[in-house]
Chains A and B, each alone.
Chain A
Amino acid sequence: MPVRPVSVGERIKRREDPRLIRGLASYTDDLKLHGGLYASFVRSDYAAGRIERIEASRALSRPGVVAVYTFEDLRGTVGRTPCVARPEAGRDAEHPLLADGRVRWVGQPIAVVVAEDRYLARDAALDVAVEISPTPAVVDPRAALAPDAPRVYADHADNIALHVPATGGPEVQKLFAEADGVVRLELLNQRLAPVSMEGRAVLAHWDEGPQRLTLWTSTQVPHLVKQSVAQCLGIAEIRIRVIAPEVGGGFGAKIPVYAEECLLPWISRKLRRPVKWSETRTENLLGTTHGRGHVHEIEAAYRKNGELLALRGRVISDVGAYPSFFGASIATFTPLMMPGCYHPKAIDVEVVCVYTNTMATDAYRGAGRPEAAYTVERVMDEIAAATGLDPVEVRRRNFIPKDAFPFTTATGAIYDSGDYELALAKALERFDYAGARARQAKARAEGRLVGIGVATFTEICGLGPSTGASPIQRTGSWESGVVRVEPTGNVVITTGVSPHGQGQETAFAQLAADAFGIDVNDVEVLHGDTDVVTHGVGTFGSRGLVVGGTAVHMALEKVLAKASRIAAHLLDAKPEQVHFDGESFRVAQSDRKLGFRQVAEAAHLWNVPIPGEEPGLEAVARFEPTGTTFPFGTHFCEVEIDADTGELELIRYVAVDDAGRIVNPLLADGQRLGGIVQGLGQALCEEVVYDESGQLLTATLLDYALPKAQMFPRIELDSTCTPTQLNPLGAKGIGELGTIGSTPCLVSAALDALRPRGVTHLDMPMKPERIWRALQEAAR
């Protein structure tokens, strides 16, 4: 038994916070280098067109303007905008760093102006005259599939970027023929803007002396940036150091490696001066990847008893004007996750990724899974409405039973562990479902529109193994961890995950503190610098603790094993006689012992040679998961809708989640609450809107509506714990859980409120106007 209290499982407050709450943390735009220049981009005002002329002389005549570059300057010296999930041959699209004579989306960079300061660079960018002959644009992905639709790429036969056919075969037809009924839905999962509060920012410094590039960038994946920039610019990776300093949120949009991250190094090398760019919010909404953007045409076959037999249909994914980094691969998760917590016998859903004249879409919190959860949860509610069964009962009848895990779904996903009944039971009790339904009945009798929503859901996390992540994605799913013990016994951890708010500096310090019996504050966790962290992949897909934490855990175990051998030598005992009790290495059946710090010191002393051992106490580990984890949960909410205005008020929200073992409940709660509100944002107000010509109508935060504090009540959290057997921590990942559950839960509640008035369909976002219109139409 450990002799000291363990920190894993405790609500330990974050080590990251002191610098952040005092304004002493450095984000990329806070950095300034001597002689630094500032870059500003000239972007396309048209969604589609030919560039006839670019006139930069007026900009160049301003004192302090150093250069203006266009594609002609880059020609032959750089590759294309990085992409690791390239669609199949023939459908792939060339995406140059600066427009090469054609523009394909509003916001596409055409030229870059470099000047002595920020104001000057922006002034000069306005001086660059760009003449464009517009050509017809296509904005709606369904319209883009029409045979006569304008082509985003003139040399392509159609606008299809990627087509993954359905694989269900004759069994699906048979199940539909046998069914008591069929539910048909066309569901929109609208385009969203991730809107990290810090926009993207890049600072590049080519140092001519050592011939090295240092690139500070607001990214989730510094090592992938290093590889991509090396490839794009033809610079050896060893000549590049990428640093992600403090990063102000990512939510998936800071995974892609962007043209700006390649261009600034190119400029710095050309001018031999540091150069910085930081995104304006309008640039962020125009030119940082969007998320979602799906249309689902789905049919569900069911039996009278509520059993879901089969699903068929197609997922249309709007990938925008070019395949972004992971872009086209995101939608391939959607059919995979379409079964949710249930076990339909067959699924036959194809994926069609479509080019449109809009900004590219890519990962956004949940990436492909929230879209699936939204659809299957809507299906569950429709089955309930059709059969007259309670929506909770329909879900329960379709649950994969807890003794069926590991469970292989109809789409081939292998669910590691789960107990959906348990989470549901806890949520039913916590929410007082029966009481809520009784109150609802009373409210309805008074003519009030009160609705109760439910979502039971699962998601795929801790992506791995690398080969199975996505059929077209070429990235590893492993992660690295290095544990270095100083002679003092203090510990330095380096990790390939690159947190930006998730709190891994604290969580990983907890792992080390418990492993070695030291204080959390005696551990330093380093990340986000490719010169410090030799190998890594990054932070996305709830992989930080699950994959990165496991790598750290493995390195800790290796260090502990070596420390144990050293202790045995020093204690004059056999290695198998020595064990670490959480504070000291002890020899069995004796009072001989050595503290961790004594062993650490001895490991480094030149005059204490240990036979068969190298000096020092350090280990490297890389963890490649053998499978993916599937956290899950049940969420309930209650809403009331004002029939006169269409306004929806969220009255209560209860979330019971299961992410396996939790290292730090404080951090986990933070991830859950933030995720829930982000998912509610999709249901309530968020929406990227382009007009028919491809102009972005939501190009400022005055137009793109984000969730705000007054929109929400206090969210109630509870949890169950079903550990995974796929990693030694038993952790399943938690970052995306809330987002996946909350969106369908709120839509479920709204429709529950509106059904008595004849409203059976609503699209997101459920703005008051949309609800009001649905009520008016139903009343007609």
Chain B
Amino acid sequence: MKLSLTVNGKAQERDVEPRMLLVHFLRETLGLTGTHVGCETTICGACTVHLDGRAVKSCTIFAVQADGRAVTTIEGLASDADHLHPVQKGFWEEHGLQCGYCTPGMIMTTAALLESNPDPSEREIRHAIDGNICRCTGYQQIVNAVQHAAQVGKGRR
């Protein structure tokens, strides 16, 4: 099937099998390997990307469902090393990651959270990341990372 969409601001046109998952399209067809596969059952959130600005798990939707829409992956969040997204900075400052495998998904989820709720409470942050599993950090530093990003956001406004 013909598929045209925008990925990280760049128009893409490809012919794909209808059953191809979005995560495999991103990783294998486009080579955007920052989006990871963790569980294939929508539980772990390692594959989270933004679809038209909303956080979705790309392991359980088909690539063709993204037809005509805009996808942002972790690679599209910062233009270069000097222009990190506040959430990326938060994760770095607060040691919000260890092995880093769940991290792109966590960052995409929490970046979407801050778009809709720029000043979340700890409870709201924990609620928001309940669909993302991290096996390393025990989540606490991830919460700190999101709070850090929210603080930066406050300073900006």
**Interface of A toward B, CB cutoff 8 Å:** 13-14, 16-18, 20-27, 29-30, 32, 117-119, 195-198, 246-249, 251, 278, 280-282, 500-503, 666-667, 669-671, 673-678, 700-702, 706-710, 712, 714-715, 738
Contact = CB atoms under 8 A, between A and B. Distances in A.
A14 B126 contact: no
Given A249-B135, A249-B136, 8 more contacts: A13-B92, A21-B74, A21-B84, A29-B33, A248-B101, A501-B99, A501-B100, A712-B139
A21 B97 CA distance: 9
Contacts of B88: 21-22
B95 A13 contact: yes
A248 B99 contact: yes
B136 A710 contact: no
B135 A706 contact: yes
B34 to A, nearest CB: 2
A709 B129 CA distance: 7
- Most chain B beta carbons < 10 A, residue from A280, A674, A715: A674
Contact of B34 (A22, A503, A666): A22
B128 to A, nearest CB: 8
Q: Interface majority SS on A: helix, strand, loop or mixed?
A: loop
B98 interface: yes
27 contacts: A14-B92, A21-B92, A21-B97, A21-B104, A22-B77, A23-B34, A25-B100, A26-B33, A29-B37, A117-B28, A198-B99, A198-B101, A281-B44, A501-B136, A502-B98, A673-B137, A674-B98, A676-B138, A677-B139, A700-B39, A700-B43, A706-B133, A706-B135, A707-B138, A709-B139, A710-B126, A738-B138
Given A13-B93, A24-B34, A119-B20, A700 B73 contact: no
A531 to B, nearest CB: 23
B24 interface: yes
Given A18-B92, A24-B75, A248 B141 contact: no
B56 interface: no
A119 B95 CA distance: 37
B41 A702 contact: yes
B-side binding surface: helix, strand, loop or mixed? loop
Nearest to B90: A21
Contacts of B138: 673-678, 707, 712, 715, 738
Interface in B37-60: 37-41, 43-44, 46
Interface in B105-157: 107, 122, 125-127, 129-130, 132-143
Nearest to B129: A709
A251 B101 CA distance: 14
A161 to B, nearest CB: 29
Contacts of A710: 126-127, 130
Contacts of B38: 197-198, 281
Interface residues of B, number: 59
Contacts of B139: 677, 708-709, 712
B142 to A, nearest CB: 7
A705 B4 CA distance: 38
B100 A18 contact: no
Contact of A20 (B97, B126, B141, B143): B97
B1 interface: no
A240 B56 CA distance: 41
A527 B75 CA distance: 25
Contacts of B77: 22
Given A677-B139, A708-B133, A22 B41 contact: no
Nearest to B74: A23
A701 B74 contact: no
A23 B134 CA distance: 16
Contacts of B92: 13-14, 17-18, 21
A670 B75 contact: no
Contacts of B75: 22-24
A585 B17 CA distance: 66
Return the 5 tightest CB-CB contacts between A and B, nearest first: A23-B34, A248-B101, A677-B138, A20-B100, A501-B99
Nearest to A705: B43
Nearest to A279: B37
Contacts of B143: 709, 714
A677 B34 CA distance: 26
A17 B97 contact: yes
B33 A30 contact: yes
Interface in B71-92: 73-75, 77-78, 81, 84, 88, 91-92
A13 to B, nearest CB: 6
Contact of A197 (B31, B78, B84, B135): B135
A21 B107 contact: yes
Nearest to B33: A30
A157 to B, nearest CB: 40
Contact of A678 (B95, B130, B135): B135
B35 A247 contact: no
A379 to B, nearest CB: 27
Given A30-B33, A666-B95, A710-B126, A674 B39 contact: no
Given A118-B28, A197-B133, A198-B99, A280 B40 contact: yes
> Which of B27, B28, B93, B103 has the most C-beta atoms of chain A within 10 angstroms of its own C-beta?
B103
Contacts of B97: 17, 20-21, 501
Contacts of B140: 673, 712, 714-715
B126 A670 contact: no
A709 B140 CA distance: 8
B102 interface: yes
Contacts of A281: 38-41, 44
A364 to B, nearest CB: 12
B43 A702 contact: yes
Contacts of B44: 197, 281, 701
Contacts of B20: 119
A16 B33 CA distance: 17
B78 A22 contact: yes
A661 to B, nearest CB: 19
A193 to B, nearest CB: 11
Given A670-B141, A678-B138, A708-B133, A714 B122 contact: yes
A196 B99 contact: yes
A23 B91 contact: no
A247 B99 contact: yes
B70 interface: no
Nearest to B137: A674
Given A30-B27, A197-B134, A281-B41, A23 B32 contact: yes
A748 to B, nearest CB: 19
Contacts of B134: 197, 709
Contacts of A21: 74, 84, 88, 91-92, 97, 100, 103-104, 107
B133 A670 contact: no
Nearest to B132: A709
Specify which of A22, A198, A710, A712 lies most central, judged by the most chain B CB atoms within 10 Å of its CB: A22
A708 to B, nearest CB: 5
B24 A674 contact: no
A203 to B, nearest CB: 13
Most buried by A among B84, B92, B99, B132: B99
B130 A709 contact: yes
B62 to A, nearest CB: 13
B40 A249 contact: no
Nearest to B93: A13
Which of B43, B91, B102 counts the most chain A CB atoms within 10 A? B43
Contacts of A197: 36, 38, 44, 46, 99, 101-102, 133-136
A698 to B, nearest CB: 12
A670 B95 contact: yes
A198 B36 CA distance: 8
Contacts of B129: 709
A117 B25 CA distance: 13
